[in-house]
Amino acid sequence: MEPWELREWYADYLDACNRHDLDAIRSFVHPAVRRAHLPGGDDAWVSDMAELFHGFPDWRWRRIQLVVEDDRIAAHLRGSGTHSRDFRGVAPTRRHANIAEYAMYRVAGGRITEFSGSSDAELLAQLEVAT
Q: What is the pTM of this model?
A: 0.92
Question: CA 12, 21, 121 angle in degrees (round to 5)?
Answer: 90
Q: Is 35 helix (H, G, I), strand (E, B) or coil?
A: strand
User: What is the predicted pLDDT for the residue at 129?
Assistant: 55
- pLDDT (tens place) for every residue of the chain, 131 residues total: 888 899 999 999 999 999 999 999 999 999 999 999 889 999 999 999 999 999 999 999 999 999 999 999 999 999 999 999 999 999 999 999 999 999 999 999 999 999 999 888 889 998 885 43
**CB-CB neighbours of 52 under 10 Å:** 19
User: What is the predicted pLDDT for the residue at 130?
Assistant: 44
Give the Å distances, CA to CA, from 112 to 61, 95, 96, 104: 18, 31, 29, 10
**For the range 12-16, what are the long-range contacts, defined as Cβ-Cβ under 8 Å and sequence gap of 24 or more?**
13/112, 14/61, 14/63, 14/77
User: What is the predicted pLDDT for the residue at 2?
Assistant: 87
User: What is the predicted pLDDT for the residue at 13?
Assistant: 98
